[in-house]
Structure 1
Amino acid sequence: MSDINRQSLSSKAASAIKPDSEKSYVEQASDYVKGTLDSVASAVQPQQEKSTTQKIGDAVTGDNTNRNLA
């Protein structure tokens, strides 16, 4: 079980809490790139290889087409 190349839930939450209007262009671009890469990693990582935290996070954020938590 490995979450390498995945964005942590706390990192996602911290990014979501701060409004884009208060972020620099660099922060906004960084958030976009990190989010996109995390979505791709979520899609290609088999469900059985994800930690419970990532399974729940993917189900909550909709970053996974397979929302099965098992």
Structure 2
Amino acid sequence: MSDLGRKSFTDQATDKVTPESQKPTSQRLGDTASGAYDRAAGAAQPGSQKSSAQGASDTLRSGSDDAANQSRGMAQSAADTVGSATQGVKDTMGSATGNR
């Protein structure tokens, strides 16, 4: 059971399990909007006022969001490293050939 106005754990899981490629654009936009609303509502509502199911769902979502953010951060760091290395090679080759 979810708290009033909040997505149930089952609805959240269904949103995650269904591949984005199988969802129509309207559903993807709706999932994004309702997910953002639910995150905001979960952050604004004190834990003492949440049902146990909603509290557990918010905790799981928070952990999932943290993991996703860390993954994006690591991917960006790797991309930055490759970009820096590529630029270094270009600079070195430019210096060696007299082209910059």
TM-score bin (small chain): 0.7 to 0.9
Query: Which amino acid counterpart does residue 39 of structure 2 have in structure 1?
Result: S
The count of residues paired between Structure 1 and Structure 2 equals 62
Q: Indicate the structure (1 or 2) with the bigger Cα radius of gyration.
A: 2
Deviations 1:21-48 (A, max 9, x none): 1111001000001100000100111110
Unaligned runs of 5+ in 2: 64-100
Using the size of structure 1 for normalisation, the TM-score is: 0.82
Query: Which amino acid counterpart does residue 58 of structure 1 have in structure 2?
Result: D
Report matched runs for 1:46-61 at 5 Å.
Answer: 46-61=46-61
Q: Name the Cα RMSD after superposition.
A: 1.5
Query: Runs (4+) of structure 1 moved beyond 4 Å?
Result: none
Deviation at 1:20, TM superposition (A): 0.3
Report matched runs for 1:1-70 at 5 Å.
Answer: 3-62=3-62
Please state which structure has a larger fraction of its residues in helix. 2
**Distance in 2 separating the partners of 1:39 and 1:54:** 12
Using the size of structure 2 for normalisation, the TM-score is: 0.59
